[in-house]
Amino acid sequence: MTSLWVESSDVLPLVDVEVAFPVGSLLDPVGREGLAQMAGHLARRGPTGISQARFEDQLAALGARVSVEVTMRSTRIRATVLRRNLEPLLPLLERLIWRPALRAGDFATLKRQAEGTLRSRLDDDQTLGALRFRKALFGDHPYSRTLGGTAASLKRIDLERARRFYRRHVAGGPFIVGLAGDVTHEDAESLVQRYFPSPGASRPVTSDVKPTRTRRGRHVIIVDKPERTQTQLFIGTLGARTRDPKLFPLIVSNTAFGGTFSGPLMQQVRGVRGWSYGAYSRLLHSAQRDAWYMWTAPSSEYSAACAALQIELMERWVDRGIKKTELTFAQRYLINGHCFDRDTPSKRLESNLDVELLGIPRRYVDKYDALVSGVTQADAVDATRARIRPRDLTIVVVATAAEVASSFEALPGVSSLEIVPFDRR
């Protein structure tokens, strides 16, 4: 396992530094969801022995900025600094990461902010729908958790738990360092050895994640919100694992179906009928099977009809597959777009860190174009039929229930319909 990655470029006199840990929300204890994110953000408030204001002043004097990102499977502490100030930044960054203050006052502030963020979600219909969709699709599986937790779980997180979590899993665990920009590998190696502790061996956070399970049948969940003239509609099922041999054929097939403006999903929903400004399908993948879903935002009047059309298009896609012309277009689209994922040293660094942290096969990065262009029409058809199950769908709509419930209940093959208040905690 490589512990230092460097992507050199002297185009700009800037250096991006990233210290990444294989620790994320999957390690949140049940009932205390949001702990990993809270701990990471608490550490960002500054190192021990210095106030947050003074710490921010020191960063500003170096022309540096620092951020912390916590995801399901990783915690990443990123800094960007002028090249001439790289060496002065590193000891400050080392103190922040391995000797954070983790102050009670900062914890109280962050907790209030987290609670405010949860309240603000109630005003965002699309976010409400997306969160409820994952909860309905994954049930009690860890993939259903939200990074920020819930109102109930935040109440169970106290300062000592946040401190213990950070010290054990982040400051006390393995990590990877990456530098991108105006720095050579030799300089990076020397500086990291001088200012950072020994990284140890990292490992992907994948071994303890139980498999996800398909919920049989078609299940409708209406997130009931008053006075909705426009709805948010999510329809989906399980997709693929990261190491699924059918992943790339499914990526190409899904791109042809609902990943571009010219795909049948967008054309039929928006182009022909004008029911939703946007209409796309998304394929997610992780250590276990993640979600595949379609999203649209039709008016209440057409919401159930739009859902019926999407299901019909999905069934046709699974049954008939994609055309040769659609295959070719999707492959060109993916390959042409991939260059924008690697056009800066920072993006290339991120790809390498993803491989190390998340267990992504190296060939996904090094051989991406070949993996995409090598997909045949038969491969795409086979992968779609093997992984996408139209009979087993989770259908979530944010709407005024009284206006849409009967029409959604009448959708073909619906096994159950549940109405939940939009502000249920």
**19: buried, middle or exposed (CB in 10 Å: 19+, 13-18, 0-12)?**
buried
Residue with tokens 């049940």: 30
Residue with tokens 């500003």: 60
Over residues 187-219, the pLDDT tens digits come to 999 999 999 998 765 554 444 789 999 999 999
Q: Quick one: pLDDT at residue 198?
A: 81
Q: Which tokens in the block code for residue 94?
A: 């080392």
Whole-Å CA distances, 346 to 5, 179, 197, 222, 352: 11, 8, 23, 41, 10
The C-alpha atoms of residue 21 and residue 97 are separated, in whole angstroms, by 11
Edge-to-edge strand list for the sheet holding 279-283: 279-283, 291-296, 232-238, 393-399, 218-224, 414-421
Query: b/e per residue, 331-350, with b = 16+ CB within 10 A?
Result: bebbeeeeeeeeebbbebbb
Q: Three-class SS string for 14-25?
A: EEEEEEEECCCH
If one counts the domains in the chain, the total is: 2
Instruction: Indicate whether 51 and 150 sit together in one domain.
Output: yes
How many residues are listed for the chain in this entry? Answer: 425
- The verdict on residue 285 lying in a domain is yes
Instruction: Indicate whether 258 and 363 sit together in one domain.
Output: yes
The C-alpha atoms of residue 261 and residue 254 are separated, in whole angstroms, by 13
- The verdict on residue 148 lying in a domain is yes
Q: Any idea what DSSP says for residue 313?
A: H
CATH code, domain carrying 50 = 3.30.830.10
- The verdict on residue 209 lying in a domain is no
Helices (H), 69-157: 86-98, 104-121, 125-138, 151-155
> Amino acid letter at 101?
A
Mapped onto helix, strand or coil, the DSSP state of residue 295 is strand
- The verdict on residue 213 lying in a domain is no
Instruction: Indicate whether 353 and 244 sit together in one domain.
Output: yes
Instruction: Indicate whether 157 and 14 sit together in one domain.
Output: yes
Q: What's the mean per-residue pLDDT of the chain?
A: 95
Q: Quick one: pLDDT at residue 201?
A: 53
Instruction: Indicate whether 350 and 395 sit together in one domain.
Output: yes
CB 268 within 8 Å of CB 313: yes
Instruction: Indicate whether 239 and 299 sit together in one domain.
Output: yes
Instruction: Indicate whether 278 and 160 sit together in one domain.
Output: no
Give the whole-number percent of the chain exceeding pLDDT 70. Answer: 97
Instruction: Indicate whether 154 and 225 sit together in one domain.
Output: no
Instruction: Indicate whether 178 and 229 sit together in one domain.
Output: no
The C-alpha atoms of residue 397 and residue 112 are separated, in whole angstroms, by 30
Q: What confidence category does residue 1 fall into, taking pLDDT thresholds of 50, 70 and 90? A: very low
**Beta strand pairing status for 414-421 and 218-224?**
parallel
Instruction: Indicate whether 310 and 179 sit together in one domain.
Output: no
Residue 141 has pLDDT above 70, yes or no: yes
Measured CA angle at 57 (ends 82, 65), to 5 deg: 40
- The verdict on residue 166 lying in a domain is yes
Last residue of a domain, one of 164, 195, 226: 195
Q: Any idea what DSSP says for residue 423?
A: T
Q: Any idea what DSSP says for residue 85?
A: G
Instruction: Indicate whether 169 and 229 sit together in one domain.
Output: no
Q: Quick one: pLDDT at residue 203?
A: 54
Q: Which tokens in the block code for residue 20?
A: 């990444």
- The verdict on residue 123 lying in a domain is yes
Other beta carbons less than 10 A from residue 82's beta carbon = 16
CB 197 within 8 Å of CB 44: no
The C-alpha atoms of residue 304 and residue 401 are separated, in whole angstroms, by 12
Over residues 148-181, the pLDDT tens digits come to 999 999 999 999 999 999 999 999 999 999 999 9
- The verdict on residue 164 lying in a domain is yes
Q: Which tokens in the block code for residue 260?
A: 């571009």
- The verdict on residue 206 lying in a domain is no
Last residue of a domain, one of 141, 164, 195: 195
Q: Quick one: pLDDT at residue 208?
A: 73
Instruction: Indicate whether 354 and 302 sit together in one domain.
Output: yes
Per the structure, the complete domain to which residue 183 belongs is given by 4-195
CA-based nearest residue to 23, from 13, 35, 15: 35
What's the rounded mean pLDDT across residues 254-277? 97
